[in-house]
Amino acid sequence: MSHRTLIRTKSAAALALTAGLLLAPVPSIAAAAPTTVVAPAAVDHSLHLTGAPNARDLGGYTTTDGKTVRSGLVLRSDALNALTADDLAKLVQLNVKTVEDLRTGYEQALEKDKIPAGATVYHRDVFGGSGDPLAIVDLGRAYKFMASDPAAYAAFKAVLLDIKNSPDPVLYHCTSGKDRTGFLSAVLLTILGVPRETVNEDFMLSNEYLAGEGGGSSVTGSIQSNTVEQAWLDSAFATANEKFGSFDNYVSQGLGLTSQDIADLKAKLLS
């Protein structure tokens, strides 16, 4: 059992104490329409970091208009607390200068990141900045929360603007790199024009990359667990659509991105 697994197992009970923080009522939604999940692409997106198995490059995907998401500019990951010296050297080699931490203050203290030399860390607490112990008993509800709560909007907007403005690669992560990181990745890829089937594929790859991590939380559906379900992502998109009328409105009214922000993101990240 890995050091990270031991820490997560011991902390599951403490984390569960504040699960209610995110179980407040959220907008009800109609059942999300079934979506297609395609088999994992042949492209290897993994960064092959020993201490962060879910670290990967968001580049290489094709948009509906035939463009390609540039590789080496946006990296997504699980927590960086278990990075080896070789892992850190690789991130330095990749020129990572900005690390966006989507976790709560409690999670940060529990699993303190190892940061590549020369990088700046920004704390973007998707769950509101309370810093209290946190666990999500029902991730289906948590995904709806991420698509409907101002704290999540602010965190995601800050990361997307940093990606737009940073001259160097940006790495963002949460604990397992699958829920907060997974939804943010889905939002960014959708903004860029990547088709939903491919967005689903990238989201579901967490199950493949975390398959050997075993253990995790004993609470089914917790952010401390190592799996994702397509229905969770579907519920987030459905919540955004219900609240704002469309994904485009979610981006402009919820996240507060301007048409120029979107144009700049596409200019930077697409080829």
d(CA 28, CA 13): 29
Give the chain's radius of gyration (CA, Å): 17
When pLDDT is averaged across residues 255-264 and rounded to a whole number, the result is: 98
Query: For the whole model, what pTM was predicted?
Result: 0.80
The 10s digit of each residue's pLDDT in 210-240 is: 986 654 443 445 555 678 999 999 999 999 9
Domain regions of the chain by residue span: 3-11+45-269
Q: What topology is assigned to 3-11+45-269 in CATH?
A: Protein-Tyrosine Phosphatase; Chain A (3.90.190)
Neighbours of 33 (CB within 10 A): 8
Residue 85 has pLDDT above 70, yes or no: yes
Q: What is the largest CA-CA distance in the chain?
A: 48
- The per-residue pLDDT of the chain, averaged, comes to 83
Neighbours of 132 (CB within 10 A): 14
What values do phi and psi take at 74, rounded to 5?
A: -125, 120
When pLDDT is averaged across residues 73-96 and rounded to a whole number, the result is: 98
The 10s digit of each residue's pLDDT in 59-75 is: 999 999 999 999 999 99
Sheet holding 170-173, edge to edge: 56-57, 74-77, 170-173, 98-101, 120-123
Q: What DSSP element (H or E) covers 245?
A: none
